[in-house]
Amino acid sequence: MTDLPYPRILVKVSGEALMGSEPFGLHPPTVARIARELVAARELGCEVGVVVGGGNILRGARVAGEDLDRSTADHMGMLATVMNCLALEAAIEAAGQPARTMSAIPMPTVCEPYARQPAMRHLRLGRVVLLAGGTGNPYFTTDTGAVLRAAELDADAVLKATNVDGVYTADPKTDPSATRYERITHDQALAYDLKVMDAAAFALAREAALPIIVFSIREPGAIVAAAKGEGHVTVVSP
């Protein structure tokens, strides 16, 4: 297809999304469902990169404390993202689509180390590229890592899969008066201190003029719909 609004996409999936109904870790049927949606986006004609969080296993900022410094905790969280990417890679390949995991933390006996040119080549060859290890540095979230990789890899949009169907004026889980934005600018997202992504991610997206498409991963077919410029989404754009 040549009329896709976003020919190359970077999908950000939270680690929590992989838990499904489980309280911790991975829910294989949920992992398989998300994998099938990523394969469907690839079959649509999109080149697909994926950044996965690690919050279903360990979130560095949450476990850091007096006996565990933040840098060490964040590196532990980055290792959790590698495990998630390997699980998702296996599920994507089981669904019939070639995939490659690339880690910002080199571990060549487990997966490929991340480098821009090999990642671009995998995308051009039609492989789903799973980008593990965050940015490879502590103090940066996987949201920031997703926007960074999207900018590096010349993606046309970041598709941010969340547990809610867009960006709201407040947390809709706690504030029944919260309303959903259809469109909002990066500047507004920063000024209103909206929590769907951290400020560093929004600021980098603004600098790179990258649209962020926010949608609910719980809606069947949501990844494909967002890739087509459709669905129940909020568009954060310049």
Q: Please give the annotated binding residues for ATP, written as ranges.
A: 12-15, 55, 59, 162-163, 168, 171
Positions at the binding site for UMP: 54, 74, 135-142
Positions at the binding site: 12-15, 54-55, 59, 74, 135-142, 162-163, 168, 171
State how far the Cα of 14 lies from the Cα of 55, in Å rounded to an integer. Answer: 7
> In this structure, are strands 183-185 and 157-162 parallel, antiparallel, or unpaired?
unpaired
Residue of 58, 68, 74, 61 lying closest to 24 (CA atoms):
58
Contact 147, 134 (CB under 8 A): no
Which DSSP string corresponds to 146-198? HHHHHHHTT-SEEEEEESSSS-BSS-TTT-TT--B-SEEEHHHHHHTT-SSS-
Give the number of C-alpha atoms closer than 13 A to the C-alpha of residue 212, restricted to the C-beta side: 32
- Cα 105 from chain centroid (whole Å): 18
Give the phi and the psi of residue 206 in degrees, each rounded to 5. -65, -45
State how far the Cα of 129 lies from the Cα of 106, in Å rounded to an integer. Answer: 16
Residues 6 or more apart from 157 whose CB is under 8 A from it? Answer: 5, 6, 9, 10, 150, 210, 211, 212, 213
Helix (H/G/I), strand (E/B), else coil: 218: coil
